[in-house]
């Protein structure tokens, strides 16, 4: 145990929200109260932007009720940002602000970019001789952070998608008098983790159940192969459900369906990968084809969140505080799957630097030989992550979410001009 460091906590959130990022925040708040060396518990509004602008709120003043409700609230209660710190001056300002508020513990909940930022803040504090402990808390529905077995946010995203796919499959079966091809476009710009997770919807992993075909960015997309795949499914089934990552690419690595703003193929790709595939089916196979695209709702689906994921997100928040108080810094909390018969998950630590510079690709051996589905070891990996259902409180028939009181912390410094 290193020497006790007395001072204040600052916690911030960054990047795209998830269904459980606020559960990590609740974990930090809950644990911070247990340590006498921690005096004030502040939150920065909108990630590092809140530090630059000295926009802090006093989280210790939030009610117990609010902290409990945070655990099941999607979005990011503190607000997030995608602001990338570049200038040396930005970092100097950040250390100035942290020092002015006697922040000795900084917790940053986010993905790769956020861990990179946390690492740089830690270095700059060290260069200034300011003693501070910086711990990253993993968060991303993309599940692409290295070292950690999986990322908080992922289990809930795939539980949501697999649930919806299973509901849709009931509908398709009912309509099954005629051939129907249904395309579901899901998130995943660079890796296929999210699309792969839809495979859990297959009841007892039986091949006749939806989804019948899954296309990941890791496998170069071939139009001919896709049409063959669909026709092959329709020979056995009355309907064919396809799940596709928004980020599928062709043999040259170009997005199959670019965004309208950056469209390299002309306007016909406007709807994204899902609409592109639907169009392929409509134009080449004489069947009814539909597409849907869940968009942002995939990462906000608190009412479909996994209790396991929620608990692990909370645990990561708690653990961040524990290891910081015990003297660790410059680390991100990781999840470590125990080598046991039933699923058990503990925590570990990875250096921020290592996390910041890595991306965990979807393993090649978890993609089937035809490149249109996943193998059983992936199902074994993913299934424990979706166990348990989060109970969201309802009021007047709709989910109720936490609203922070946001008591403002007084500014100590003069304003800062953002570029």
Q: Which residues are catalytic?
A: 142
For a copy of itself, give the closer residue by CB, 327 or 393. 393
> What is the total count of residues that contact a copy of itself (CB under 8 A)?
74
Q: Using the rule CB under 8 A, is 286 a contact of a copy of itself?
A: no
Q: Using the rule CB under 8 A, is 299 a contact of a copy of itself?
A: yes
Q: Using the rule CB under 8 A, is 404 a contact of a copy of itself?
A: no
Shortest approach of a copy of itself to residue 48 CB, angstroms? 11
For a copy of itself, give the closer residue by CB, 92 or 167. 167
- Which of 221, 294, 362, 378 lies at the binding interface for a copy of itself (CB under 8 A)? 294
Q: Using the rule CB under 8 A, is 127 a contact of a copy of itself?
A: no
For a copy of itself, give the closer residue by CB, 83 or 130. 83
Instruction: Identify which of 201, 171, 204 has the alpha carbon closest to the alpha carbon of residue 186.
Output: 201
User: Within 10 Å of residue 85's Cβ, how many Cβ atoms?
Assistant: 21
* Site map 9..48 versus a copy of itself, x via CB under 8 A: ----x--xx----------------------------x--
State which of positions 179-208 bind a copy of itself (CB under 8 A). Answer: 182, 200-201
State which of positions 55-74 bind a copy of itself (CB under 8 A). Answer: 73-74
Spatial neighbors of 88 by CB under 8 A, at least 6 apart, are none
Q: Using the rule CB under 8 A, is 297 a contact of a copy of itself?
A: yes
- Which of 81, 95, 195, 214 lies at the binding interface for a copy of itself (CB under 8 A)? 81
- Which of 303, 347, 351, 353 lies at the binding interface for a copy of itself (CB under 8 A)? 303
For a copy of itself, give the closer residue by CB, 133 or 172. 172
State which of positions 335-394 bind a copy of itself (CB under 8 A). Answer: 383, 386-389, 394
Shortest approach of a copy of itself to residue 132 CB, angstroms? 25
State which of positions 143-182 bind a copy of itself (CB under 8 A). Answer: 159, 162-164, 166-177, 182
Q: Using the rule CB under 8 A, is 396 a contact of a copy of itself?
A: yes
Query: Which range touches a copy of itself (CB under 8 A), out of 56-64, 88-96, 113-121, 292-300?
Result: 292-300
Query: Which range touches a copy of itself (CB under 8 A), out of 123-131, 246-254, 299-307, 342-350?
Result: 299-307
How deeply is 354 buried, as exposed, middle or buried, from its count of CB atoms within 10 A (0-12, 13-18, 19+)? middle
Shortest approach of a copy of itself to residue 400 CB, angstroms? 9
Shortest approach of a copy of itself to residue 110 CB, angstroms? 12
For a copy of itself, give the closer residue by CB, 350 or 402. 402
- Which of 75, 152, 197, 373 lies at the binding interface for a copy of itself (CB under 8 A)? 75
SS3 of the chain: CCCCCCEEEEEEECCCCCCCHHHHHHHHHHHHCCCCCEEEEEEECCHHHHHHCCCEEEHHHCCHHHHHHHCCCCCCCCCCCCCCCCCHHHHHHHHHHHHHCCEEEEEEEECHHHHHHHHHHHHHHHHCCCCCEEEEEECCCCCCCCCCCCCCCHHHHHHHHHHHHHHHHHHHHHCCCCCEEEEEEECCCCCCHHHHHHHHHCHHHCCCCCCCEEECCCCCCCHHHHHHHHHHHHHHCCEEEEEEECCCECCCCCECCCCHHHCCCCHHHCCCHHHHHHHHHHHHCCCEEEEEECCCHHHHCHHHCEHHHHHHHHHHHHHHHHHHHCCCCCEEEEEEECCCCCCCEEEEEEEHHHHHCCCCCCCHHHECCCCCCECHHHHHHHHHHHCCECCCCEECCEECCCCCCCCECCCCCCCCCCC
């Amino acid at each position: 145990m290193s020497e006790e460091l007395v001072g204040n906590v600052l916690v911030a959130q960054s990047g795209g929200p998830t269904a459980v990022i606020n559960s990590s925040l609740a974990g930090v708040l809950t644990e911070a109260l247990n340590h006498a060396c921690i005096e004030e518990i502040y939150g920065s509004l909108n990630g590092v932007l809140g530090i630059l602008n000295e926009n802090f709120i006093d989280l210790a003043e939030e009610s117990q009720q609010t902290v409990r409700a945070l655990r099941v609230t999607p979005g990011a209660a503190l607000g997030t940002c995608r602001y990338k710190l570049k200038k040396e001056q930005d970092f100097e300002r950040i250390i100035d602000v942290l020092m002015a508020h006697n922040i000795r513990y900084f917790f940053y909940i986010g993905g790769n970019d956020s861990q990179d930022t946390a690492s740089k803040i830690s270095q700059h504090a060290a260069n200034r001789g300011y003693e501070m402990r910086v711990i990253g808390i993993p968060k991303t529905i993309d599940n692409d952070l290295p070292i950690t077995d999986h990322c908080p946010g992922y289990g809930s995203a795939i539980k949501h998608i697999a649930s919806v796919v299973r509901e849709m499959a009931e509908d398709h079966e009912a309509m099954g008098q005629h051939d129907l091809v249904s395309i579901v476009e899901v998130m995943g710009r660079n890796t296929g983790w999210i699309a792969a997770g839809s495979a859990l919807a297959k009841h007892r992993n039986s091949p006749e159940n939806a989804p019948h075909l899954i296309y990941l960015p890791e496998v170069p997309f071939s139009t001919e192969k896709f049409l063959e795949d669909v026709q092959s499914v329709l020979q056995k089934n009355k309907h064919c459900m396809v799940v596709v990552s928004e980020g599928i690419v062709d043999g040259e690595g170009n997005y199959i369906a670019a965004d309208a703003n950056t469209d390299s193929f002309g306007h016909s790709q406007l709807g994204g990968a899902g609409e592109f595939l639907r169009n392929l089916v409509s134009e080449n196979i004489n069947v009814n084809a539909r597409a849907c695209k869940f968009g942002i709702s995939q990462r906000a689906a608190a009412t479909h969140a996994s209790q396991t994921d929620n608990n692990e997100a909370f645990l990561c928040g708690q653990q961040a505080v524990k290891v910081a108080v015990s003297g660790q810094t410059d680390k991100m909390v990781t999840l470590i799957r125990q080598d046991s018969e039933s699923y058990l998950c503990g925590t570990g630590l990875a250096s921020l630097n290592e996390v910041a510079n890595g991306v965990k690709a979807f393993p090649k051996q978890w993609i089937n030989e035809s490149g249109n589905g996943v193998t059983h070891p992936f199902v074994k990996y993913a299934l424990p992550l979706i166990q348990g259902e989060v109970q969201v409180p309802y009021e007047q028939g709709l989910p109720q979410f936490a609203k922070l009181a946001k008591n403002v912390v007084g500014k100590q410094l003069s304003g800062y001009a953002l570029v």
